[in-house]
Structure 1
Amino acid sequence: MIVLGRIVAPFGVQGWVHLHPFGDDPASWRRMSRWWLGSDPEGDDWRPLDLLGLKPHGDGWVAGFYGIADRVGAESLKGLYLGAPREDLPRPDEGEYYWADLIGLAVVNEQGETLGRVDSLIETGANDVLVVMDGEQKRLLPFIDQVVKSVDAAAGCIHVDWGSDW
């Protein structure tokens, strides 16, 4: 299961919810008629819900599901993660990646030094940030073109312009 975001709050009185997407293209999720909700991203309690609608609202997104018709139903979804099996996901465009595809990749700088492996990502207002762990050492690398030179998921490696002493 690939985690796409989280439900943060009810929206209105007709069962819709506010979403916090973990990525920058939730509009593409409209192509998935069925979404999966679960309380633990690593757990096995995922349950399917059919998508009624998805639309931008302010600087965020709201979604509705068949069978969730009122605020009480929407409140019961608060805090749940939303995801989908990999085979149901839209293919990312060239140069785009699902966060789940980056977790665990080795990070190697231009001098050939391994800086560690991607442990997680952080979403910030400006750009996403790779959390790279090398034992107990943590590095935070901005996921921007000036730093990330290439991603080779098949080879399990991200090449970066980043010094080992930074």
Structure 2
Amino acid sequence: MNTKQTVNNIDNKVVLGQFGKVHGIKGWLKLISFTAPPANILDYPQLFVGSENSWRELEIDQCREQASMFLVHIKGSDDPESSKPYTGKQLAVTSDQMPELEEGDFYWHVLEGLSVVNRLAQVLGQVDRLLETGANDVLVVKATGSSIDDRERLIPYIRESVIEEVNLEAGIIRVNWEADYLD
């Protein structure tokens, strides 16, 4: 792999996409973007490749959009063998590169791991991930040891009517959602 710098601090990384299979004989790779719109993945000056415990800086020197993904060429990876180690790896940026959001807006990765508590102070679980459904985003809330039960819940991310408060300092999302609501 052609890399510039190893970064082992994952706390400040935001995963924006994932590399797929090698494409062609010149070492191009498929890249699936998790950004909205997808082309935003290419707007960052410093990119990192890796996984949970090890990140390396890399440079994408060419890109082509193809259907719902991108074909990218990583500088110095000019054949399938030199590109193969990137397959399945994540593409990330440092969190300080992310654009500022308006008051009350949050990046999904910031919400993941927060506790979800309802109006009755019942712990419903912890945000595992979010889903994009078209109408609104949905919190996937998994039970924890302190949860009221062991159910997984799908809670719509609708400000004010369902999501009453996001308190990052306390690590809590307060919701208007009863423990016995059917998902």
Q: Give TM-score, length-normalised by structure 2.
A: 0.68
| Partners of 1:11 and 1:17 within 8 A in 2 | yes
Unaligned runs of at least 5 residues, structure 1: none
Match of 2:154 among 118, 133, 140: 140
2:88 alignment partner in structure 1: 79
Unaligned runs of at least 5 residues, structure 2: 1-12, 145-149
What pairs up with 1:75-114 in 2 under 5 angstroms?
Answer: 75-87=84-96, 89-94=97-102, 96-109=105-118, 113-114=122-123
2:171 alignment partner in structure 1: 156
Greater alpha carbon shift after TM alignment, 1-10 vs 122-131 = 122-131
Amino acid corresponding to residue 98 of structure 2 in structure 1: P
Match of 1:17 among 14, 24, 29: 29
Output one character per residue of 1:24-75: Cα deviation in whole Å (capped at 9) or x when no partner: 344233232331111x32x1x2111112244532122333221122333332
Q: Which protein shows a greater Rg?
A: 2
| Partners of 1:34 and 1:51 within 8 A in 2 | no
For 1:73 and 1:125, how far apart are their aligned partners in 2? 37
Q: Give TM-score, length-normalised by structure 1.
A: 0.74
For 1:19 and 1:163, how far apart are their aligned partners in 2? 40
| Partners of 1:27 and 1:55 within 8 A in 2 | no
Cα 1:138/1:65, change in 2 over 3 Å: same
| Partners of 1:133 and 1:139 within 8 A in 2 | yes
